[in-house]
A and B are shown apart, each in its own frame.
Chain A
Amino acid sequence: MSDEKYIFSAGAKKNIFIVLAVGIVLAVLGVILMNSGGHHDAHGTDHVVEAAASHGDHAVAAHDEHGAEAAGEHHGGYHWTHRLKANLWINNLFFTGLAIIGVFFICIQYVAQAGWSVGVKRIPMAMASWLPIAGVLMAVVWLLSNHELFHWTHASLYDVNSPDFDAIINDKKGYLNFGFYMGRMVLFFGVWYVLFLQIRKHMLAEDIEGGVNRWKKLVGLSAVFIVFFGYSSSIAAWDWVMSIDPHWFSTMFGWYVFASWWVSGLAFIAFVAILLKDKGYLSVVNANHLHDLGKFVWGFSIFWTYIWFSQFLLIYYANIPEETIYFVERLKSDFYSKIFFMNLVVNFVLPFLLLMTRQSKRHARILKVVCPIVLVGHWFDFYLMITPGVLKENGDFGFLEVGMMMIYASAFVYVVLHSLAKYPLVAKNHPMYNETLHHHI
């Protein structure tokens, strides 16, 4: 029985801080470039000139322009803080996803009574420690920037006497209103975190006590979490992503966001497991376990594509303007359409072909390349869900995006590794510990 513990070395911390520092520098550089106007010359559209001219009074401009937006003309007052807030929201969503998938992964392992995953379970457990931070960030960013991110938060849309009055959004008032929305956010993060704390408590107690009592409790708790997550993940996707375009709706959207979260979470777990093995940790994990993780990443890359395509095909075929607008925004833009097709290549074609053979999943070398590709690919998936809705044709990808991604990634990885070092790396008293040692496929 091993009493392995991960040591969060000073070297690793230094590397994370270097990434953080580079991220901050890039983000600041991005903002400076945007303000000097140089970054947007490529677009050369009238809006950019307008936006650049109205930098000083952005707040007033942003509010004034919403009437025009509601009328379907997106000449929104565009300012660098808009783009910053869109970035904050993208990263909030992506990393919240990684954290909550940590809990979800643990839960399906318990409910399925799986033995193979015992050796890697502490990685998703560490990922979930980002949850409270994710919740706070989400709430703070929402409170500070809901007007810029979410069109439906403007009071004038609900005022019959206002020229901005929007009958469609007004009909959704019972669901899309400040109190209920905030309540759902608090409820989801609250229940997720409380259930996670319970699950972690029992997992750690099992290390000391052994036996099957804790395990039985965990199976029950996991079932509760999965049922709650089934509803909450869908509703969270409507709230946090789909309501950016409040006129538009897709019944596939909850699954779509979940699929993206899930495959990124799996890729992250596999990637961390391989890196830990490279450092000499996780001796219980061998090629058979990596094979299973690889199958997960491969299979759910296809699952994501299946969901993505199911959403696309129905909208494409029915050809109803109020539905197609989502894809028109993305496909008719020279900028977004490139990312749109890149999204499919990076998240489907590459993992599908690279991880197809048995050998590529069993040998860490290919998995080590594919996992980061999938992670970055799904970050772009979230970019594509949010940016066109928030920034309209002013969206761009530059130093600010890369910098913000690096800032969030370094913070997330720091929290995960810190938590990984805090608890034993292997659940040595798990009832299926022996099974995982003999796992052979």
Chain B
Amino acid sequence: MSGNKNFVLGVYDDEDLLLKAIKDVRQSGVKIYEVFSPFPVHGIDDVLGYKGSRLSVAAFIFGLLGTTLALTMQIGMMTFDWPMIIGGKDFFPFPTFIPVTFELTVLLGAFGMCGTFFVVSNLKPWAKPRIFDLRITDDKHIVAVDLDKNSMSEEEIKKALAASGAQEVNNKSFE
């Protein structure tokens, strides 16, 4: 069927083997789509060659937005819209703005970062998750390879996965 996504899955049962396998498989030229594991594996982002998350950039921008919003709001209200003398301060009592500015920076930074993460990870309530193998929530690690993203043939990829120590090599396709 056209439009189908076809994957080859390598199944591993040991995280040390998995780390070595990922290195070997990538060395043989296979592009890995994603690795699924039941628990966090230390050092997996290094062997997968991930450059580190850019989520912090989003957090910074949202934080900056919070700072700007808080200062604009307070200065707009207290200095221009309805100036009031409070505690003998002038109409621009900057130090008193800092707590609110801090709170809004943190709030928007946190919300913005979470929202960005949900969007990037496709975690919307109506999203249909692709379940590659039920055993990834139990005791198996899965290395998924997207056949369309690889120039190598299916046979070669399967051979590389098997050579790296995979217990099973399976096919999986999604509509």
A contact set with B: CB distance below 8 Å: 309, 312-313, 316-319, 356-358, 440
Beyond A319-B88, A440-B43, whether A357 also contacts B56 by CB under 8 A is: yes
Q: Write out the residue numbers on chain A whose beta carbons fall within 8 Å of the beta carbon of B56.
A: 357-358
Are A313 and B95 in contact, with the CB atoms below 8 A? yes
How many A-B residue pairs lie within 8 Å, measured between CB atoms? Answer: 22
Are B87 and A358 in contact, with the CB atoms below 8 A? no
Is B124 an interface residue when CB atoms closer than 8 A count as contact? no
Is B98 an interface residue when CB atoms closer than 8 A count as contact? yes
* Bound Cα distance A357, B54 (Å): 11
Is B125 an interface residue when CB atoms closer than 8 A count as contact? no
Q: Write out the residue numbers on chain B whose beta carbons fall within 8 Å of the beta carbon of A316.
A: 95-96
* Bound Cα distance A313, B96 (Å): 7
Q: Write out the residue numbers on chain A whose beta carbons fall within 8 Å of the beta carbon of B60.
A: 356
Q: Write out the residue numbers on chain A whose beta carbons fall within 8 Å of the beta carbon of B99.
A: 313
* Bound Cα distance A358, B51 (Å): 12
For the A-B complex with A313-B95, A440-B43 known, give 14 more contacts whose Cβ atoms are closer than 8 Å: A309-B95, A309-B98, A312-B95, A313-B96, A316-B95, A316-B96, A317-B87, A318-B87, A319-B87, A319-B89, A356-B60, A358-B52, A358-B56, A440-B42
A–B pairs, 7, beta carbons within 8 Å: A312-B95, A313-B95, A313-B96, A313-B98, A313-B99, A318-B87, A357-B56
* Bound Cα distance A411, B160 (Å): 63
* Bound Cα distance A309, B96 (Å): 10
B contact set with A: CB distance below 8 Å: 42-43, 52, 56, 60, 87-89, 95-96, 98-99
* Bound Cα distance A367, B70 (Å): 32
- Taking the closest CB of chain B, its distance from the CB of A440, in whole angstroms, is 5
* Bound Cα distance A313, B43 (Å): 45
* Bound Cα distance A317, B94 (Å): 11
Q: Write out the residue numbers on chain B whose beta carbons fall within 8 Å of the beta carbon of A357.
A: 56
- Taking the closest CB of chain A, its distance from the CB of B97, in whole angstroms, is 11
Q: Write out the residue numbers on chain B whose beta carbons fall within 8 Å of the beta carbon of A319.
A: 87-89
* Bound Cα distance A31, B52 (Å): 55
* Bound Cα distance A312, B94 (Å): 12
* Bound Cα distance A316, B87 (Å): 10
Q: Write out the residue numbers on chain B whose beta carbons fall within 8 Å of the beta carbon of A313.
A: 95-96, 98-99
CB-nearest residue of chain B relative to A356? B60
CB-nearest residue of chain B relative to A313? B95
Most buried by B among A312, A317, A440: A317
Q: Write out the residue numbers on chain A whose beta carbons fall within 8 Å of the beta carbon of B88.
A: 319
For the complex of A and B, the 9 pairs showing the least CB-CB separation, nearest first, are A440-B42, A316-B95, A313-B95, A319-B88, A319-B87, A317-B87, A440-B43, A317-B96, A309-B98
- Taking the closest CB of chain A, its distance from the CB of B64, in whole angstroms, is 12
- Taking the closest CB of chain A, its distance from the CB of B35, in whole angstroms, is 17
Q: Write out the residue numbers on chain B whose beta carbons fall within 8 Å of the beta carbon of A309.
A: 95, 98
CB-nearest residue of chain A relative to B94? A316
CB-nearest residue of chain B relative to A309? B98
Q: Write out the residue numbers on chain A whose beta carbons fall within 8 Å of the beta carbon of B95.
A: 309, 312-313, 316-317
Q: Write out the residue numbers on chain B whose beta carbons fall within 8 Å of the beta carbon of A318.
A: 87
* Bound Cα distance A313, B87 (Å): 13
- Taking the closest CB of chain B, its distance from the CB of A159, in whole angstroms, is 38
* Bound Cα distance A356, B52 (Å): 15
Q: Write out the residue numbers on chain A whose beta carbons fall within 8 Å of the beta carbon of B96.
A: 313, 316-317
* Bound Cα distance A440, B96 (Å): 41
Q: Write out the residue numbers on chain A whose beta carbons fall within 8 Å of the beta carbon of B98.
A: 309, 313
* Bound Cα distance A317, B42 (Å): 49
- Taking the closest CB of chain B, its distance from the CB of A326, in whole angstroms, is 15
CB-nearest residue of chain B relative to A358? B52
- Taking the closest CB of chain B, its distance from the CB of A337, in whole angstroms, is 15
- Taking the closest CB of chain B, its distance from the CB of A267, in whole angstroms, is 23
Q: Write out the residue numbers on chain B whose beta carbons fall within 8 Å of the beta carbon of A312.
A: 95
